[in-house]
Structure 1
Amino acid sequence: MFEVKRYSSDMAEEWNRFVAGSKQGTFLFDRNYMDYHHDRFSDFSLVVLHKGHICAVLPANVNGDTLWSHQGLTYGGLITDKKATTDDVCAIFQTINEFLRSCSIRHVVYKAMPWIYHRLPAEEDLYALTNVCGASLMVRHISSTIVMDDRIRFIESRKSGIRKAKRLGLQVAESSDLSDFWTILDNNLENKYQARPVHSLSELELLKSRFPDNIRLFMASDSDGKPVGGTLIFETPQVIHTQYISASPEGKASGALDMLFDYLINDYYSDKIRYPHAKYFDFGKSSDGDGHQLNSKLIFQKEGFGGRGVCYDWYSWDV
């Protein structure tokens, strides 16, 4: 009933067209995004065909005898068309497992897509993981998400930060200067976690040039115009996702992020004329490692803006 084969670069245009019209695809699965780090991951993406036409795709890479969906992406999973039924998806996973065995793949790590990204209900894969693949939950991260039509009021400490930022004359605006933001981000991660951003500055500039309508930077600046904090936004059909958030020591002391998110949540993205499809504002995960380490300070900040829990789950099974 279904045929599975590996993706090849000559299928890029057809792949991108399918993702754009799928139930749950975002620009992260566009090959112009996925392939920016092709040198870091051995691509093993799968294309599922029915009567010669694509009916599903699985963005993936291979590491040893393990298939990942996908190590270079925040979330992943099977991307399906609007016609896909539960029986279809169960049969697709049976066919995928048979194909993987023929390729000597022995294990699968599957990053399920959080439901907030589904344009239509699309959790048939979760049912198939349990009932076809015998998968088990491997990792669970917690994110903080705001329902834009039912926003919770900011807590007092966030309101206090907004008042301070206004007193000090801070300003918020969209910016095209990724280098200013990346410097703040890099310094912050280095000083606090001895870590570096997942994306280099050149990678962010490349991705923003490819997806100018989806990747946007908003910055807070002091009264002299000096950038003191910002967030890099990934816009998908119904989710506004903060890919990166960072502030300089001056920005932290002056309430820069409080003012910034007040503007984004309660003004910019709540404007139905400007952005009619914004259903969710997602701050991203606040758990580290395998999800067991909750960053309490970080999630306190996000929940202070009204964010509430959405899980980012990984599953695994033996083929």
Structure 2
Amino acid sequence: MFQITPYHSSEYEKWNAFVERSKNATFLFDRHYMDYHADRFQDASLMFYLEGRLVALLPAHKDGDTLCSHNGLTYGGLIMDEKATAERISVLFAEMNDYLRNQGFRTVFYKPVPWIYHQYAAEEDLYALYNVCKAQLVGRDVAAVACINHLLPWRNIRKQGAKKAIQHGCVIREGENYSDFWDILTENLQTKYGVSPVHTLDEIHLLHHLFPKQIRLFVAEINGRVMGGTVLYMTRNVVHVQYISASAEGKRLHVLDCLFDFLLENLPQECHYFDFGKSTATDSCLLNASLAYQKEGFGARSICYDTYQWNL
């Protein structure tokens, strides 16, 4: 029998220590990251104990009688240690469902951590979703990922673009001041989609301050002017593109081709995958074919970010 308890802020050190040693977590589950937007979500995270030992976490929030894991994060799902087994996690989900029913929940939305972020095989939860929860797949976004140790050839258009940018004096550097890039990013998002970045400039500065090694900005400059850039989330074995954008002139000079050429050549040795991010619409999972084509031009291919639902 598992002891299931709601997370309390007094346990943030215990929570973070488990995240650090788990087999499938990233820094997105660190409470310093989760809690920067705590005012937007009613936290309903759970902690699972077995014989007094913490064995799993569920980052989650409450929306009426629905438990979501997690709409404030790129992914959620059960965070497990290396001792997690298929049988143990199946029992955990069965007991968690009973617990949630008793707490008045009626529905669960669940976004598992994609496998590229796992330190060890960690899909025990997916088996439990099917066999215990009878969950339905209700959302599937597609992202483009390059395998660093087995890079596929670039399309000629990307190679030629990188050369053009270099010929015009494009220089890639790591930056600390997000303001110039945020202006470019915000203008592009507003013009094309009528939306703003998920994070405000103040929020991304705060998160970079909290996670200086994990959240990093790289910019492409010509004659000292920022023409484009990317904000990277560096996890243990994946580099994830959180934001990317270029000015109109930067696009014309193909500075992003030059930027990714630099990044893919200078990744940390322990990095296995470069995740260019999703190529689907936020609210519909419809493929943005031109965006996917651009990312695939760098030798990236598809993985899925899934969302499951089940009734209690």
Report if TM-score (shorter chain) is over 0.5.
yes
Range with bigger deviation, 47-56 or 284-293: 284-293
Is the partner of 1:88 in helix, strand or coil? helix
Shift of 1:167: 1.2
Shift of 1:207: 0.5
**Aligned match of 1:234:** 233
**Aligned match of 1:296:** 289
**Aligned match of 2:68:** 68
Range with bigger deviation, 282-291 or 88-97: 282-291
Distance 1:203 1:38, change over 3 A: same
* TM-score normalised by L of structure 1: 0.97
Shift of 1:290: 4.7
Q: Superposed, which structure 2 residues align to 1:173-188 within 5 Å?
A: 173-188=173-188
**Aligned match of 1:248:** 247
- 1:140–1:291: 8 Å Cα contact kept in structure 2? no
Matched residue count: 312
**Aligned match of 2:165:** 165
Q: Distance in 2 between matches of 1:290 and 1:159?
A: 33
Q: Distance in 2 between matches of 1:87 and 1:293?
A: 36
Q: Distance in 2 between matches of 1:228 and 1:88?
A: 51
Shift of 1:3: 1.0
Give the ranges of 4+ consecutive aligned residues of structure 1 lying more than 6 Å apart after TM superposition: none
Shift of 1:213: 0.6
Is the partner of 2:134 in helix, strand or coil? coil
Q: Superposed, which structure 2 residues align to 1:243-282 within 5 Å?
A: 243-265=242-264, 267-269=265-267, 275-282=268-275
Shift of 1:289: 3.5
Shift of 1:112: 1.1
- 1:46–1:57: 8 Å Cα contact kept in structure 2? yes
For the aligned residue pairs, the C-alpha RMSD in angstroms reads 0.8
Is the partner of 1:196 in helix, strand or coil? coil
Q: Superposed, which structure 2 residues align to 1:1-319 within 5 Å?
A: 1-222=1-222, 224-265=223-264, 267-269=265-267, 275-319=268-312
Q: Distance in 2 between matches of 1:182 and 1:92?
A: 43
Q: Distance in 1 between matches of 2:134 and 2:168?
A: 57
Q: Distance in 2 between matches of 1:43 and 1:5?
A: 13
Q: Distance in 1 between matches of 2:150 and 2:158?
A: 18
- 1:141–1:290: 8 Å Cα contact kept in structure 2? no
Is the partner of 1:283 in helix, strand or coil? strand
Is the partner of 1:294 in helix, strand or coil? coil
- The CA deviation string for residues 178-199 of structure 1, in whole angstroms up to 9 with x for no partner, is 1111111001100111110000
**Aligned match of 1:272:** none
In structure 2, list runs of 5 or more residues that go unmatched.
Answer: none
Q: Distance in 2 between matches of 1:5 and 1:30?
A: 18
